[in-house]
């Protein structure tokens, strides 16, 4: 803390006031005028001031801060002197060589009684009267009006300033003695010795030192806080000077200094300078007696430094803590170590842990150095080293191996890293061997696998423990082999990593025989470990680590291909480890990664990463793309774009799937400009191939040929130039590349790249290419595979068009709108697939509300009874370059820009199909169209209103009819079902946009379910009792994107593409029933509506919802329909109800809905199709991984079986027959599964023994379940129960069936 400054000012009347200058800067302009400093006062003036202070300390204060009568004369002097300069001048007088001992004795002997008087009277402490007397304060303010104008604060007592003056004088005298000593020492070259001083100065210094704690209490007084701090700082400086000057009795000057400096270092305003002052007197701690009870407070402060960030972050602070470990007190070392452990357990960051590492190492190193310097004569120093090792380091070494929390072991290892880095030092090596020797080898063979894992890390850090003797190395290698052959996979992984680090660091030092042994274990056994993918991944990572050492290349080169085969491992982390290894090999001169894994395997792997459940932008795909980036897009000025195009075309030809995945990750490997140039080049290639195909078919290609600059040719040596599949892949690649940099193109720094793409794709380029593939798609003679390729190309081109301003593309919008009215002769399925991207593009071009009205008009018209599709007027749009009604397939004519073009009315099948694709599609255009509709309230409400008309149509269709009106068109039923399903999906998507988790069921969706419960369910229950067989008219096919697909395969706002599998075998058309008759009954409409609403509920339930009692109540009411005798009703509803019940079971562990479904089927005689549904549902339940959920499901099955058995009327029936046909299939499905059988046995064995259902199910388990060790163990307990109590008959109720008695007579093997 900087020493404060003081100033005294007198008014004209001679009234003296002491002013606080604790915050004054050293360059303060407030001055007291004087002539020559030496002429104003001398030591005689100082003596005079002391002599005058017999009754009061005021004269001394006046002498320092106010030269009395000289003030008025000095005002006119030419020279001025600041307060600090005056104080320094007085102190210089005391420092002067002329200030002999006699004068010093006279000065300090005069100060002693004054100081004692101040201490006895405690006049430096403000009284209560001073604090409360407002009148006196007012008088002082009036008398010192001049001072107030100067901005100075008036103080009430000079005693505290007198104490500060005494501290200045003592320090000045000490400085003078030190100056003399340094002069004599330089002349005589004598070492520094303890300095003797006069007897009179020590009492003054002692009194000042004893005032430190009282002054600390004065810091709470507001009026003198600053003066008290300044005075305390002056005494601090005096005590430090006494200590550093090595004066007599210096130990007496630090008793209060040390704890107070510690306290100041813990304050919020503490700075590193406070830590430096404390560190400079750290040797003073050696004189403290830590066994004294009075020092407990100091000890507490010392322990607090362990967790203080200011100490740990400064060099001086770490040195201070290091010195604490060197104090000759074993209990203090133990307390310090416990404090460090507490900080480590709290999870400190690495910087703090590194600070602890430096402290422990420096403390241990200093203890050994001191012992060497004293040549073992000082036994205490040896005791300090022993104390550090036994009380601190030994505990850390135990914790790094045996810590229960791995993070704690990691933190302790960080602290010990400093020792590991210096293990080449003989002293450190000996210490590590001495400390770790009793722990490590025993831990490597411990029964706890976690201890073995952590010991493997220590084995690496300390290798070779005990030195490079052959015995020590052999022992370490043997330990590594034991770890790599461990039964626990995690230990084998740890052993593999340990071997990698040891061999990479000590390849030359380890014997070759041991190297072969370790490599054989890694490459032959670990790389082919079928039981653990982590072990295989660790084996590959081990080889990657070894490749960093150049000396290993000759040995590893022929072994790498066997590791490369893991590129096709089923586990992603193994594949990723192989790719990382190849990336490391790529950087090694003289080694080629394609010699380890052939190029065709790399392309096959890259293509596979983009299929199925693999993430095409995952770590493996991205790393593979990085590996192959130079092969397919070489950089450098010498690489021409022609070469890049040829490489690209070869990739597209050889492996289209790999090309698509590569381009999806190109944004992470290439710059925006490079990708933009590649997009433009690929588009030219596509145009070139389109021209070639047109020429081959003798078609006019004059327009599109102009897109290629004159004289430019594409040199491609591959095959299949006109291949439709390759052209489709090129188009997809262009779309993927553009999509990957779309966000970056919005930055101003990429404006040139964006402008270049706009120029390349403007005009009629996209229109002509799109028309070419669309014409091929409409060719009925084209193969199915080529139809798909044409559709891929059209979608990709439209995706690209959506990224370009519509006004820059000639005729494409007019062409698309024209095609909407020109598809009446095309099959519905092809119309849906072909027109959905077109509509999505219109939404991307800002026509969302127009498209919504266009779709809503067609939907509302069909349900309003207007079956003539051309009765209503059509919407019109202003389209550039368009004709009025039917537009040509290729836009070659220019039409007026403002000409109005009608937006035609589409067939209802096409409208609903387009809407279905928009709601479930995962490709970018569909997602964009869906987002546009959901964000536009007008578009959303327009479509919702149109879809709600299907509810009114359904109500009309399910009404009882007579005569010719009893039957109706199946097409209308299909339209109603699809509309209601789209309505539900639209509500789910809208709610999902809020981003709330879990997603709630909207009021509109609840209203839809209420409508079904109150209107459809009663009508269907009534219609199901009719005699006519619904199955004669239609065969059920699951609606769009069956919700009964595997987990996360359903179409939804969150989940991706829907799955095709369901409880029902076979796959039908999208959003449709297969009609086998021209007319169907109202029951078909009711079933269709129920299935569509159930599909919506299933979609919502799959999104990890929180249980909703409303939904559960509605589903329970719907389950009552399963009790009807109509097979068609059960077959239609059962898949959805099972799905919702299983989802509720998986998400919440709630089996109530599953129980409701099973009980509703208790009297049903399921058909073959229903049996398939039941078996599939049970298999889905058995595939769940959570054992708790499985137990809940099987307990529900047992409970339902017991309820049915109790209510059964057929006493003589067999057990499974008495349970009912449905439960018979359920139980048989459970018995056929190994996991299900074991869990069923566990549930039964824990039940009450007197249960006939329990006994019968256990017998069925014994007779029909797959035999496993776990099941045999459970059944053996059951056999033992029957053996010990042969006469006991399990009875549930009063009716014991004969079939049970027959089963009892069957032989049961033990």
Digit-coded pLDDT (tens) for 578-636: 999 999 999 998 899 999 999 999 999 999 988 877 788 889 999 999 999 888 877 76
- Mean pLDDT over residues 28-48, rounded? 55
Q: Which of 219-223, 763-767, 1079-1083, 1180-1184 has the lowest mean pLDDT?
A: 219-223
Residue 1227 confidence class, pLDDT cut points 50, 70, 90: confident
Cα–chain center distance at 822 = 52
User: Measured between alpha carbons, how far is 710 from 503 in angstroms, rounded to an integer?
Assistant: 62
Given a cut of 70, whether residue 1044 has pLDDT beyond it is: no
* pLDDT tens digit sequence for 440-476: 999 998 999 999 999 999 999 998 887 777 788 888 8
Return the structure tokens found at 1238: 């074991």
- Tens-digit pLDDT profile for residues 337-384: 999 988 887 766 888 899 999 999 999 998 887 655 554 444 444 688
Q: Is pLDDT at 17 greater than 70 in this prediction?
A: no
Q: What does 359-425 look like in DSSP terms, one character per residue?
A: HHHHHHHHHHHHHHHTTT--HHHHHHHHHHIIIIIHHHHHHHHH-SSHHHHHHHHHHHHHHHHTTTS
> Which stretch of 130-144, 291-305, 441-455, 1262-1276 has the lowest confidence by average pLDDT?
130-144
Query: What is the reported pLDDT for 1060?
Result: 30
- The per-residue pLDDT for 186 is 59
List the single range of 66-80, 850-864, 901-915 with lowest mean pLDDT.
66-80
Question: What is the tens place of the pLDDT at every residue in 296-326?
Answer: 888 888 889 888 888 988 999 999 999 988 8
- DSSP letter string over 1267-1305? P-HHHHHHHHHHHHHHHHTTT----SSS---HHHHHHHT
DSSP 199: T
Instruction: Kindly state the average pLDDT of the residues 522-530.
Output: 91
Neighbours of 581 (CB within 10 A): 25
Between strands 80-82 and 31-33, the pairing is: antiparallel
pLDDT of res. 577? 94
Cα distances (Å, whole numbers) of residue 767 to 704, 759, 891, 892, 1217: 10, 15, 7, 10, 68
pLDDT at position 639: 58
Which of the four pLDDT bands, split at 50, 70 and 90, describes residue 716? low
Closest CA to 890 of 802, 775, 806: 775
pLDDT digits (tens, 9 = 90+) for 232-286: 888 888 898 888 888 888 888 888 888 888 888 888 888 888 888 888 888 888 8
The distance in angstroms from the start CA to the end CA of the chain is 88
pLDDT of residue 41: 59
pLDDT value at position 1284?
A: 59
- Six-digit token string for 48: 């005079």
Average pLDDT over residues 422-449: 89
| Bridge partners, residue 877, by sequence | 901
Q: Does residue 542 surpass a pLDDT of 90?
A: yes
SS3 859: helix
Cα–Cα distance, 538 to 549 (Å, whole number): 18
CA-closest candidate to residue 596, choices 656, 649, 540, 641? 540
In angstroms, what is the C-alpha Rg of the chain? 46
Q: Give 496's pLDDT tier (boundaries 50, 70, 90).
A: very high
The predicted model gives 399-409 an average pLDDT of 90
* Secondary structure of residue 1080 in the 3-state scheme: strand
Asked whether residue 73 carries a pLDDT value surpassing 70, the answer given is: no
Structure confidence at residue 66 (pLDDT): 65
- pLDDT at residue 923, as a whole number: 65
Q: What is the pLDDT of residue 709?
A: 52
What mean pLDDT, rounded, does the chain reach?
76
Provide mean pLDDT across the span 1149-1164: 87
Cβ count within 10 A of residue 300: 12
For residue 902, the model assigns a pLDDT of: 52
List alpha helices for 1168-1220, DSSP H: 1168-1182, 1187-1207, 1215-1218
Query: What count of other Cβ atoms lies within 10 Å of the Cβ of residue 964?
Result: 7
1080: pLDDT confidence band, cut at 50, 70 and 90? low
Tell me how far the alpha carbon of residue 359 is from its chain's centroid.
34
Q: Looking at the predicted structure, is the pLDDT value of residue 1064 above 60? A: no
pLDDT score, position 1071: 34
Question: What band does 518 get if pLDDT is binned at 50, 70 and 90?
Answer: very high
What's residue 91's pLDDT?
A: 84
Contact call for residues 877 and 937 (beta carbons, < 8 A)? no
Give Cβ neighbours of residue 125 (< 8 Å, ≥ 6 apart).
214, 218, 221
Q: How confident is the model at residue 30 (pLDDT cuts 50, 70, 90)?
A: very low
Give the phi and the psi of residue 133 in degrees, each rounded to 5: -75, 95
- The backbone torsions φ and ψ at residue 112, rounded to the nearest 5 degrees and listed phi first, read -60, -55
What percent of the chain shows pLDDT beyond 70? 75
Q: Is the pLDDT of residue 10 over 50?
A: no
Please tell me the distance from the alpha carbon of residue 680 to that of residue 794, in angstroms, as a whole number: 18
**Is there a contact between 65 and 83 (Cβ–Cβ < 8 Å)?**
yes
The model's confidence at residue 488, banded by pLDDT at 50, 70 and 90, is very high
Over range 969-973, report the average pLDDT.
Answer: 81
- C-beta separation of 467 from 458 below 8 A: no
**DSSP state for residue 1105 in the 8-state scheme:** P
Predicted TM-score (pTM) of this structure: 0.70
């Amino acid at each position: 803390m900087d020493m404060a400054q003081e100033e005294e000012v007198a008014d004209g009347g001679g009234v003296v006031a002491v002013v606080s200058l604790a915050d004054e800067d050293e360059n303060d302009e407030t001055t007291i005028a004087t002539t020559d400093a030496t002429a104003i006062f001398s030591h005689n003036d100082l003596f005079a001031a002391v002599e005058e202070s017999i009754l009061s300390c005021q004269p001394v204060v006046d002498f320092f801060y106010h030269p009395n009568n000289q003030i008025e004369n000095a005002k006119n002097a030419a020279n001025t002197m600041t307060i600090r300069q005056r104080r320094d001048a007085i102190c210089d007088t005391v420092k002067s060589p002329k200030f002999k001992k006699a004068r010093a004795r006279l000065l300090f002997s005069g100060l002693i009684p004054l100081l004692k008087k101040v201490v006895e009277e405690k006049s430096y402490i403000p009284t209560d009267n001073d604090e409360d007397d407002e009148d006196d304060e007012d008088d002082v303010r009036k008398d010192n009006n001049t001072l107030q104008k100067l901005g100075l604060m008036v103080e009430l007592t000079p005693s505290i300033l007198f104490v500060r003056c005494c501290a200045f004088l003592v320090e000045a005298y000490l400085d003078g003695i030190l100056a003399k000593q340094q002069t004599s020492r330089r002349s005589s070259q004598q070492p520094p010795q303890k300095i003797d001083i006069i007897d009179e100065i020590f009492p003054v210094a002692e009194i000042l030192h004893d005032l430190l704690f009282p002054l600390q209490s004065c810091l709470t007084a507001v009026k003198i806080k600053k003066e008290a701090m300044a005075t305390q700082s002056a005494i601090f400086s005096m005590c430090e000077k006494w200590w550093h000057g090595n004066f007599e009795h210096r130990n007496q000057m630090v008793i209060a200094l040390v704890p107070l400096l510690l306290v100041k270092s813990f304050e919020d305003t503490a700075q590193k300078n406070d830590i430096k002052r404390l560190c400079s007197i750290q040797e003073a701690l050696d004189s403290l007696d830590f066994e004294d009870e009075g020092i407990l407070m100091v000890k507490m402060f010392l322990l607090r430094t362990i967790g203080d960030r200011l100490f740990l972050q400064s060099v001086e602070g770490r040195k201070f803590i290091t010195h604490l470990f060197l104090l000759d007190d074993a209990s203090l070392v133990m307390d310090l170590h416990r404090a460090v452990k507490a900080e480590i357990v709290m999870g400190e960051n690495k910087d703090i842990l590194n600070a602890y590492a430096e402290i422990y190492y420096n403390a241990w190193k200093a203890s050994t150095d001191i012992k060497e310097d004293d040549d073992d004569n000082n036994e205490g120093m040896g005791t300090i080293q022993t104390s550090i090792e036994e009380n601190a380091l030994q505990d850390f070494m135990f914790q790094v191996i045996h810590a229960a929390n791995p993070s704690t072991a990691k933190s302790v290892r960080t602290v010990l890293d400093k020792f590991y880095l210096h293990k080449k030092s003989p002293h450190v090596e000996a210490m590590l061997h001495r400390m770790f020797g009793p722990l490590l080898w025993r831990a490597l063979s411990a029964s706890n696998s976690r201890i073995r894992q952590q010991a493997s890390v220590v084995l690496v850090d300390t290798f070779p423990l005990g030195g490079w003797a052959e015995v020590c190395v052999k022992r370490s290698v043997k330990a590594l082999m034991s770890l790599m052959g461990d039964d626990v996979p995690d230990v084998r992984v740890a052993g593999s990593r340990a071997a990698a680090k040891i061999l990479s660091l000590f390849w030359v030092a380890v014997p070759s025989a041991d190297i072969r042994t370790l490599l054989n274990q890694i490459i032959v056994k670990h790389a082919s470990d079928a039981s653990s993918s982590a072990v295989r991944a660790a084996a590959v990572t081990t080889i990657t680590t070894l490749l960093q050492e150049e000396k290993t290349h000759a040995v590893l080169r022929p072994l790498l291909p066997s590791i490369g085969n893991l590129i096709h491992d089923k586990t992603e982390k193994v594949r990723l480890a192989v790719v990382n290894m190849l990336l490391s090999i790529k950087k090694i001169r003289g080694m080629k990664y394609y010699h380890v894994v052939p190029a065709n395997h790399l392309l096959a792997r890259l293509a596979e990463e983009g299929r199925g459940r693999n993430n095409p932008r995952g770590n493996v795909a991205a790393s593979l793309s990085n590996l192959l980036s130079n092969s397919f897009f070489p950089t450098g000025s010498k690489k021409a774009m022609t070469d890049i195009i040829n490489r690209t075309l070869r990739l597209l030809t050889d492996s289209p799937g790999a090309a698509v995945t590569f381009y999806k990750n190109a944004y992470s490997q290439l710059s925006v400009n490079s990708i933009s140039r590649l997009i433009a080049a690929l588009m030219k290639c596509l145009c070139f191939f389109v021209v070639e195909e047109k020429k081959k078919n003798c078609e006019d290609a004059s327009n599109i040929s102009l897109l290629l600059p004159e004289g430019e040719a594409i040199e491609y040596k591959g095959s299949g130039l006109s291949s439709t599949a390759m052209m489709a892949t090129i188009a997809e690649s262009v779309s993927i590349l553009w999509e990957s940099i779309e966000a970056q193109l919005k930055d101003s720094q990429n404006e040139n790249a964006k402008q270049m793409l706009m120029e390349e794709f403007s005009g009629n380029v996209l229109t002509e290419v799109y028309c070419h593939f669309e014409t091929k798609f409409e060719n009925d003679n084209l193969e199915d595979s080529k139809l798909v390729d044409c559709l891929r190309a059209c979608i990709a081109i439209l995706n690209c068009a959506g990224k370009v301003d519509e006004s820059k593309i000639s005729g494409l919008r007019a062409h698309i709108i024209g095609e909407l009215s020109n598809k009446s002769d095309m099959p519905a399925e092809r119309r849906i697939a072909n027109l959905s991207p077109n509509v999505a593009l219109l939404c991307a071009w800002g026509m969302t509300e127009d498209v919504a009205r266009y779709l809503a008009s067609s939907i509302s018209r069909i349900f309003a009874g207007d079956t003539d599709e051309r009765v209503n007027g059509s919407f019109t749009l202003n389209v550039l370059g368009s004709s009025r009604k039917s537009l040509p397939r290729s836009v070659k004519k220019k039409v007026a820009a403002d000409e109005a073009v009608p937006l035609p009315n589409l067939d209802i099948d096409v409208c609903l199909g387009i809407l279905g694709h928009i709601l479930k599609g995962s490709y970018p255009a569909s997602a964009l169209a869906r987002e546009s509709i959901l964000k536009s309230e007008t578009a959303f409400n327009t479509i919702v209103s149109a879809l709600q008309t299907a509810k009114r149509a359904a109500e009309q269709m399910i009404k009882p009819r007579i005569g010719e009106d009893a039957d109706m068109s199946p097409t209308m039923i299909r339209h109603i079902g699809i509309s209601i399903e789209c309505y539900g999906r639209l509500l789910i998507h809208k709610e999902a946009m809020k981003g709330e988790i879990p997603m709630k069921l909207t009021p509109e969706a609840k209203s839809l379910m209420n409508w079904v419960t109150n209107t459809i369910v009663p009508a269907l229950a009534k219609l199901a009792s009719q005699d006519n067989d619904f199955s004669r008219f239609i065969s059920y096919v699951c609606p769009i994107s069956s919700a009964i697909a595997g987990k996360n395969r359903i179409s939804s706002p969150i989940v991706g593409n829907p799955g095709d599998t369901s409880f029902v075998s076979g796959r039908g058309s999208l959003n449709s029933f297969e009609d086998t008759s021209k007319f169907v009954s109202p029951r078909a409409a009711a079933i269709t509506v129920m299935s569509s609403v159930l599909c919506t509920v299933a979609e919502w339930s799959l999104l990890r919802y929180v249980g909703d009692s409303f939904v559960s109540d509605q589903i329970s009411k719907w389950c009552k329909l399963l009790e009807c005798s109509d097979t068609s009703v059960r077959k239609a509803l059962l898949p959805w109800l099972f799905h919702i019940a299983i989802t509720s079971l998986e998400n919440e562990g709630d089996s109530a809905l599953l129980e409701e479904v099973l009980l509703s089927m208790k009297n049903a005689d399921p058909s073959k199709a229903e049996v398939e549904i039941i078996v599939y549902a049970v298999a889905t339940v058995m595939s769940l991984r959570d054992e708790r959920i499985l137990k809940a499901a099987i307990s529900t099955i047992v409970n339902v079986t017991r309820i049915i058995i109790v209510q059964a009327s057929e006493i003589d029936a067999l057990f499974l027959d008495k349970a009912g046909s449905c439960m018979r299939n359920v139980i048989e499905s459970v018995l056929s599964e190994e996991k299900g059988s074991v869990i069923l046995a566990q549930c039964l064995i824990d039940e009450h023994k007197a249960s006939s259902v329990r006994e019968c199910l256990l017998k069925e388990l014994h007779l029909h379940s797959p035999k496993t060790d776990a099941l045999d163990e459970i059944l053996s307990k059951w056999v033992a129960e029957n053996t010990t109590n042969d006469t006991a008959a399990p009875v549930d109720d009063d009716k014991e069936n004969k079939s049970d008695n027959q089963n009892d007579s069957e032989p049961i093997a033990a």
